[in-house]
């Protein structure tokens, strides 16, 4: 079968389409023909071996797929690696049935990005009705879904950030009350101003560096910042516990891999999200449908932050 395989760590230049043997399913695994594989920031870290878990070579990247089993069952699944290929094996307990009316791009988007948004709001920050929230990268895969979910949960004022006017306009069209440029000097003050002069209750942050630092300064008493990525590759400044105590604020980390310990909750999350898509209440933004041979361009576009919404690769092309 055709697959993208890396034999050395690095940037997009190490992604190479090649022929490899078909994967063989083991106990409690399903073999699927992959219709689409999702492209995520985590993949870019995995390819350069800068992710939370170390990768082993040779490797086929790609942690989420949608496709069909030999008996025609249409499933979406999260996998550790192996998604950028014509076929993949998935854990049968982590395979989610995709209902009719949910297209391939939406099905894949509801995996890493949809479930991340769901967990960030419901399990990590415990967003309450009426609370204000900042969604950084509001036009991205997670951000675009988080804005809509926060709205449906009854959030108060929703503030998005995005790097271009087009992206900010998209965030507002999805339900944000206002969208600002994260490069704005004194971002903490800009956030407070966007919240009508008040500090904010919740921040969803995946940029790192000064964006994290200044977002933390914008939190209200009992405010929560959820840190779930570092797209800038820049570490935030260390935070002293006493500083958190003096403002009654909290920082939490989130890594979706820990949610795998409770498949029942994952299935609940996917079912809820899929139903919202099917009913037209949740809109997935398609950010690009790349041929397998164009996977380098997909990674380059994502790393350069030229994209919005969900990126996928099509192994049949």
Q: How far apart are CA 160 and CA 19, in angstroms?
A: 43
Q: pLDDT for 265-291, tens place per residue?
A: 999 999 999 999 999 999 999 999 999
What percentage of the chain reaches a pLDDT higher than 90? 93
Cα 213 from Cα 239, distance rounded (Å): 9
β-strand partners of 67: 34, 75
Fold assignment, 114-257: Rossmann fold (3.40.50)
> Residue 54 pLDDT > 90, yes or no?
no
**Contact at 8 Å (CB) between 235 and 210?**
no
For the record, the structure tokens of 99 come out as 């209902």
CA–CA separation, 12 and 213 (whole Å): 29
Total Cβ atoms within 10 A of residue 315: 27
Q: Which residues contact 185 (CB under 8 A, 6 or more apart)?
A: none
Backbone torsions φ then ψ of 151, nearest 5 degrees: -60, -45
Residue spans per domain, the chain? 2-110+285-314, 114-257
How many Å apart are CA 47 and CA 61, to the nearest integer? 7
The residues pairing with 289 across neighbouring beta strands, listed in sequence order, are 312
Question: What is the reported pTM?
Answer: 0.90
Equal fold, 2-110+285-314 vs 114-257? no
- Quick check: 93 and 44 in contact, CB under 8 A? no
2-110+285-314 belongs to which homologous superfamily?
Answer: Medium-chain alcohol dehydrogenases, catalytic domain (3.90.180.10)
pLDDT grade for 222, boundaries at 50, 70 and 90: very high
Contact indicator for 251, 244 with CB cutoff of 8 Å: yes
Q: Using one digit for the tens of pLDDT, what is the confidence trace for 82-133?
A: 999 999 999 999 999 999 999 999 999 999 999 999 999 999 999 999 999 9
């Amino acid at each position: 079968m055709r697959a993208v395989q890396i034999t050395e760590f690095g940037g997009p230049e190490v992604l190479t389409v090649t022929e490899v043997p078909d994967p063989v399913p083991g106990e409690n695994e399903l073999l699927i023909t992959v219709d689409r594989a999702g492209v995520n920031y985590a993949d870019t870290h995995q390819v350069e071996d800068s992710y939370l878990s170390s990768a082993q070579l040779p490797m086929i990247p790609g942690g989420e797929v949608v496709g069909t089993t030999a008996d025609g069952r249409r499933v979406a699944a999260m996998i550790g690696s192996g998604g950028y290929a014509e076929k993949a094996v998935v854990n049968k307990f982590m395979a989610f049935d995709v209902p009719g009316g949910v297209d391939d791009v939406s099905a894949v988007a509801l995996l890493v990005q949809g479930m991340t948004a769901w967990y960030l709001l419901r399990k990590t920050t415990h967003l309450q009705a009426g609370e204000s929230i900042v969604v950084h990268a509001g036009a991205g895969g997670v951000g675009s879904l988080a804005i809509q979910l926060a709205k449906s949960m009854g959030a108060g004022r929703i503030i998005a950030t995005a790097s271009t006017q087009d992206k900010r306009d998209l965030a507002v069209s999805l339900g944000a009350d206002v969208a600002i440029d994260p490069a704005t000097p004194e971002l903490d003050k800009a956030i407070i101003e966007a919240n009508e002069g008040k500090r904010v209750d919740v921040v969803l942050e995946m940029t790192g560096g000064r964006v994290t630092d200044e977002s933390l300064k914008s939190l209200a008493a009992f405010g929560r910042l959820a840190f779930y990525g570092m797209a800038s590759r820049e570490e935030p400044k260390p935070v002293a516990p006493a500083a958190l105590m003096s403002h009654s604020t909290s920082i939490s980390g989130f890594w979706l891999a820990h949610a795998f310990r409770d498949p029942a909750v994952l299935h609940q999350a996917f079912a809820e999200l899929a139903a919202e898509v099917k009913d037209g209440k949740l809109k997935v933004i398609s950010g690009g449908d790349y041929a397998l041979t164009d996977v380098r361009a997909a990674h380059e576009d994502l790393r350069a932050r030229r994209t919005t919404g969900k990126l996928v690769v099509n192994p049949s092309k």
